Structure 1
Amino acid sequence: MKNLFNYLSLVLFFTCSIMVNAQIPTNEKQFLIDLHKSTGGEKWQNKWNLQADPSSWYGVEIADGHVTGLKLYRNNLKGKIPMGVSKLSHLKTLNLAFNILEGNLPNDFFQLEELTSLRLEMNKLTGALPKDYSQMKHLEELSMFNNLFQGTIPEGIGEMSNLKTLNLSSNYLEGSLPKSIEKLGKLEQLELFGNKLAGSIEVDLGRLVNLRELILSYNQFEGDLPSSMASLTNLEFVQLQGNDFRSLNSLLRMPSSKLAVFDSDDEFLNLKFGTTEASRTRIVDTKFEDTKRN
C-alpha cells in the first residue's frame, strides 16, 4: 500500500509539472522567445527567465491557457518585431510603446482578431501602414504616434468598426484623409498631428458623433473644413493650426459648451471658443505622457 501511495504521489507530481509547463501552447511560447531574442531580451529593463514558466515572465498575461496580454511598455526592447505574432491568437492587449523597435511591421500584425488595444507609440518603426484591417473588428485603440511610418493612410482603416482611438501623429504620412474614416462611428479620438497630410478634407466629419478630440494640426490640409463638423456636440479638444485651410467659417455655429481647448490659425475663433496660451502646451503633453499604461 505504501508503494502504491508513493507511486500515485509521483504520478500526481509529474502530472502537475506537465500541466504547469504546458500552460500555453508551444507555438505561443515560441513567438515570445523569438521576440525576446530579436529585441535584445538580455538587456531588457525587466528581464525574462526563459527557464521559468511563461506565466512568471514580466508583461505576459495568461488566461485559459493562452496569452491574452503582452505589456512591455518602456522596457528597452531594441530591434525588430519578428514574424509570427498571429500565433498569439487570443491576444487582447499588445503594448510595446516607448521602446527602440525598428523596421517594418510584420505582415501578420493585423491578423489578431481578438485584439482590443494596440500601442506602438514612441518607437522607430518604418514602412507603410498595412492596407487590410478586416480582421480587427474588436480593436478599440490604435496608437502608433512618434514613429517613422510613410505613405498614405489606407482606406482599409475604416474597417475597424469598434475603434475609439486612432493616433497616428508625428509620422511621415502623406496624401489625403481617407473617406472611410467617416465609417468609424464609435471614434472618440482622432489625432494626426505633425504629418504631411494634404488636400481638402472630403470626410463627412459630422458622422463621427462620438468624437471628443480632433487633432489635425501641422499638416498641409487646405480648402474649407466640412460644414458637418459644426454638428459635433461632444468635442472637447480641437487643434487645427498649421494648415492651409481657406476658411473655418463653418465652425462659427459649432457648440462650445464642452470645448476645453480650441486652437486654429483664426484668432477670432480662438477667442470665440476661449483658447488660452496654456492650452497650447497640450499637444506636447499628449505626445509623451502615458495615461493608460496598458
Structure 2
Amino acid sequence: MILKNRVLLLLFVMIGFGMYAKVSQSEKEVLLELFRMTQGEHWTMSWSLDEPIANWHGVEIENDRIIGLHLFNNNLVGQLPQSIYKLQHLKVLNVAFNKLSGQIPTEIENFKELRELRMGKNKLTGSIPEHIGNLQFLEVLELFDNEFSGALPSSIGRLAHLKSLVLSHNGIEGQIPQSIGNLTQLEGLELGSNKIEGTIPESLGELLNLNRLVLFENQLSGTVPNAILALPRLKVLQLQNNNIGVDVAFQNSARKANFAVFDVGDKILRFNDDAIHNFDFKQDTRMADTKFEDVD
C-alpha cells in the first residue's frame, strides 16, 4: 500500500510538472506569432490560448524551454515567422504536409541543437541555405515536394550525424556535391525528380550505411560507379528517367544475404567494368513509385 501511494504521488508530481511547465515570455510570443501568421484558428488541432502552453498541441517542453514543434499535417497556411528561429533550443521542427509558403532564411543556422527538420509537402520556395551545414547535430533533413531551386550547398557534407536526406520533387539544379560522401551515417539519400545534372559522384561509395539511393527523373549521365553496387546495406537504387539505365531488377547472388531492387529507367544500362557480376537478373520486376509517409 505504501509503495502504491508513492507511485501515485510520483505520477501526480509528473503530471503536475507537465501541466504547469513554464516557458519564457519571449518564447511564448514566438508561438503566438506562429499561430497568427499560419491561421492557427483554422488548424486541424488548434491551440486554446488560455490554457498552459504545455497543453498546446505539438509543443514539446523540457526544462521550461521549447524543444519541439510537432505540427505535421495540421493545416498551417501562410509563412513561418522570422521569430521562430529565436527558439534556439529547438530539437525538432516538423511542419510537413501543410500549406506553408516562403523561403528558409539564413537564420536557420540559429537552431544549433536541431535534430530533425521536416518541412516536406508544402509550397516553400527559394534555395536551401548555404550555411545549413552549421546544424551540426541534424539527423533528419526532409524538404521533399516543395518548390526549392538552386544548387545543393556543399556545406551539407558537414552534417556528420545526418541519417536521412530527402529532397525529392523540387527544382534543385546543379550537381550532387562530392561532399555528400562525408555523411558516413547516412541511411537514405533521396534526390529524385529534380533538375540535377552531371555524373553520380564516386564519393557516394563511401556511404556504407546507405540502404536507399533515389535519383530518378533528373538529368544525370555517365555510368554507375562500381562502389555504389558494392555498398553492403543498399536495398533500393532508383535511377529511372535519367541518361543511364534500362528497366532491370537485380537480385544479389547467393553469397549475399541482402535483396536489392534497382530501377534504372528506359535506356541502355552502362556500368563500369564488370560491376554486376555478383547479381542475377530478373526482367519481370519494376519498383513501385516512391511514396512519402510521415508519422507525427
Fold match (TM-score > 0.5): yes
Counterparts in 2 of 1:267 and 1:40: CA distance versus 1, 3 Å: same
Counterparts in 2 of 1:207 and 1:44: CA distance versus 1, 3 Å: same
The answer (yes or no) to whether the contact 1:80–1:103 under 8 Å persists in 2 is yes
The answer (yes or no) to whether the contact 2:252–2:260 under 8 Å persists in 1 is no
User: Of Structure 1 and Structure 2, which has the larger fraction of its residues in strand?
Assistant: 1
The answer (yes or no) to whether the contact 2:23–2:65 under 8 Å persists in 1 is yes
Q: What do the CA deviations read for 1:29-81 (whole angstroms, capped 9, x no partner)? A: 11111111110111111111222211111000111111111000111000011
Q: 1:272 aligns with which of 265, 280, 283?
A: 280
The answer (yes or no) to whether the contact 1:40–1:79 under 8 Å persists in 2 is yes
Q: What do the CA deviations read for 1:147-173 (whole angstroms, capped 9, x no partner)? A: 000011110111111000000000000
Structure 1 window deviating more from structure 2 (155-164 vs 107-116): it is: 107-116
Counterparts in 2 of 1:156 and 1:273: CA distance versus 1, 3 Å: farther
Structure 1 window deviating more from structure 2 (93-102 vs 80-89): it is: 80-89
Q: What do the CA deviations read for 1:218-237 (whole angstroms, capped 9, x no partner)? A: 10000122232132111011
Counterparts in 2 of 1:222 and 1:21: CA distance versus 1, 3 Å: same
TM-score, scaled relative to structure 1: 0.83
How far apart are 1:267 and its partner, in Å? 8.1
Alpha-carbon distance in structure 2 between the residues aligned to 1:220 and 1:20: 53
Aligned to 1:93: 92
Aligned to 2:184: 185
Alpha-carbon distance in structure 2 between the residues aligned to 1:212 and 1:60: 32
Aligned to 2:46: 47
Counting aligned pairs with the same residue, the percent is: 38
Aligned to 1:236: 235
Aligned to 1:219: 218
Aligned to 2:257: 257
Q: 1:281 aligns with which of 268, 285, 288?
A: 288
Structure 1 window deviating more from structure 2 (57-66 vs 129-138): it is: 129-138
Counterpart mapping for 1:86-165 below 5 A: 86-165=85-164
The answer (yes or no) to whether the contact 2:244–2:264 under 8 Å persists in 1 is no
Tell me the amino acid that sits aligned with residue 123 of structure 1.
N
Tell me the amino acid that sits aligned with residue 147 of structure 2.
L
Aligned residue-pair number: 268
Q: What do the CA deviations read for 1:192-213 (whole angstroms, capped 9, x no partner)? A: 1100000122341111111000
Tell me the amino acid that sits aligned with residue 32 of structure 2.
I
CA RMSD of aligned residues (A): 2.8
**Helix, strand or coil for the counterpart of 1:68?**
strand
**Helix, strand or coil for the counterpart of 1:58?**
coil
Counterparts in 2 of 1:35 and 1:106: CA distance versus 1, 3 Å: farther
Counterparts in 2 of 1:187 and 1:62: CA distance versus 1, 3 Å: same
Aligned to 1:78: 77
Alpha-carbon distance in structure 1 between the residues aligned to 2:283 and 2:140: 28
How far apart are 1:109 and its partner, in Å? 1.9
Counterparts in 2 of 1:65 and 1:202: CA distance versus 1, 3 Å: same
Alpha-carbon distance in structure 2 between the residues aligned to 1:112 and 1:203: 32
The answer (yes or no) to whether the contact 1:222–1:246 under 8 Å persists in 2 is no
Alpha-carbon distance in structure 1 between the residues aligned to 2:283 and 2:54: 49
Tell me the amino acid that sits aligned with residue 257 of structure 1.
A
Counterparts in 2 of 1:179 and 1:33: CA distance versus 1, 3 Å: same
Gaps of 5+ in 2: 1-17, 270-275
Aligned to 1:166: 165
Q: Runs (4+) of structure 1 moved beyond 4 Å? A: 19-22, 251-256, 266-269, 273-277
Structure 1 window deviating more from structure 2 (76-85 vs 223-232): it is: 223-232
User: Of Structure 1 and Structure 2, which has the larger fraction of its residues in helix?
Assistant: 1
Gaps of 5+ in 1: 1-18
How far apart are 1:281 and its partner, in Å? 1.8
